[in-house]
A and B are shown apart, each in its own frame.
Chain A
Amino acid sequence: MSSNNENPPEAAPQRIYFFATCLIDLLYPNAGLAGMQLLRRAGVDVVLPEAQTCCGQPAFNSGYRQEALSVARAQLRCFPNDYPVVVPSGSCAGMIKHHWPELFAGERDEQQALRIARNTYELTEYLVDIVGIELTDLGRPTKVAIHTSCSARREMGVADRIERLVGQLSAVDVVEQERKAECCGFGGTFAVKQADVSGAMVKDKTAALKATGADIVVSQDVGCLMNIGGALDHQGDDTKAQHIAEFLWDRTS
Chain B
Amino acid sequence: MNQTEAFHERIDEALHNDQMRRNFRSALSGIQAKREQQFPDDAQLQALREQARAVRANALVKQPELLEQLEAKLTENGIRVHWAENPEQANQIIADILDAATAKTVVKGKSMVSEETGLNTYLEQRGIEVVESDLGEFIIQLAEEPPSHIVAPAIHKNRQEVAQLFHRFYPDLPYTEDINQLTETARQILRDKFAHADAGISGVNFAVAETGTLCLVENEGNGRLSTTAPRVHIAITGIEKVVEKLSDVPPLLEILTKSATGQPITTYFNMISRPRQAGELDGPQAVHLVLLDNGRTRIKVDEQLLDTLRCIRCGTCINYCPVYVQLGGHAYGTVYPGPIGIALEPQRLGIDQVGSLTSACTLCGACGQVCPVEIPLPKLINRLRAEAVNAGREASPLIGRGALRNKTEATSWKLWRLVYANAFVYRLFALAATRLRWLTPKKLGGWTRYRSAPKPAKRTLNELARQKGFRSE
Judge: A and B partners, yes or no: yes
Q: Are A154 and B426 in contact (CB under 8 A)?
A: no
What is the bound-complex CA distance between A62 and B423, given in angstroms? 22
Provide the residues of chain A in CB contact with B12, threshold 8 Å: 196
Q: Are B462 and A62 in contact (CB under 8 A)?
A: no
Provide the residues of chain A in CB contact with B407, threshold 8 Å: none
Q: Are A67 and B416 in contact (CB under 8 A)?
A: yes
What is the bound-complex CA distance between A58 and B360, given in angstroms? 16
Q: Are B452 and A234 in contact (CB under 8 A)?
A: yes
B388 within 8 A of A: yes
Proximity string of chain A (68-91) to chain B, C-beta cutoff 8 Å, 1 when within and 0 when not: 001101100000000000000000
Contact of B322 among A53, A155, A185, A227 (CB under 8 A): A185
Provide the residues of chain B in CB contact with A56, threshold 8 Å: 420
Contact of A28 among B360, B389, B423, B457 (CB under 8 A): B457
For residue A58, give the distance in angstroms from its CB to the closest CB of chain B.
Answer: 7
B422 within 8 A of A: yes
Q: Which of the four size classes fits the interface of chain B?
A: 35 or more
Having A20-B462, A49-B473, one finds 6 other A-B pairs with CB under 8 Å, namely A61-B382, A64-B390, A70-B417, A154-B368, A196-B11, A230-B453
What is the bound-complex CA distance between A104 and B457, given in angstroms? 33
What is the bound-complex CA distance between A191 and B359, given in angstroms? 10
B465 within 8 A of A: yes
A138 within 8 A of B: no
16 A-B pairs in the complex with CB atoms less than 8 angstroms apart? A24-B461, A29-B463, A53-B419, A59-B416, A64-B390, A67-B414, A71-B416, A71-B417, A150-B363, A154-B364, A182-B366, A185-B362, A190-B361, A192-B447, A195-B449, A198-B362
Q: Are A197 and B385 in contact (CB under 8 A)?
A: no
What is the bound-complex CA distance between A197 and B13, given in angstroms? 11
For residue B24, give the distance in angstroms from its CB to the closest CB of chain A.
Answer: 12
Provide the residues of chain A in CB contact with B358, threshold 8 Å: 63
Q: Are B430 and A26 in contact (CB under 8 A)?
A: yes
A119 within 8 A of B: no
Contact of B366 among A26, A36, A183, A186 (CB under 8 A): A183
Proximity string of chain B (314-338) to chain A, C-beta cutoff 8 Å, 1 when within and 0 when not: 0000000011001100000000000
For residue B25, give the distance in angstroms from its CB to the closest CB of chain A.
Answer: 8
A211 within 8 A of B: no
Q: Are B363 and A70 in contact (CB under 8 A)?
A: no
Q: Are A194 and B417 in contact (CB under 8 A)?
A: no
Q: Are A200 and B326 in contact (CB under 8 A)?
A: yes
For residue B379, give the distance in angstroms from its CB to the closest CB of chain A.
Answer: 8
CB nearest to B16 among chain A residues: A196
Q: A150-B364, A185-B362 are in contact. Are A196 and B390 (CB under 8 A)?
A: no
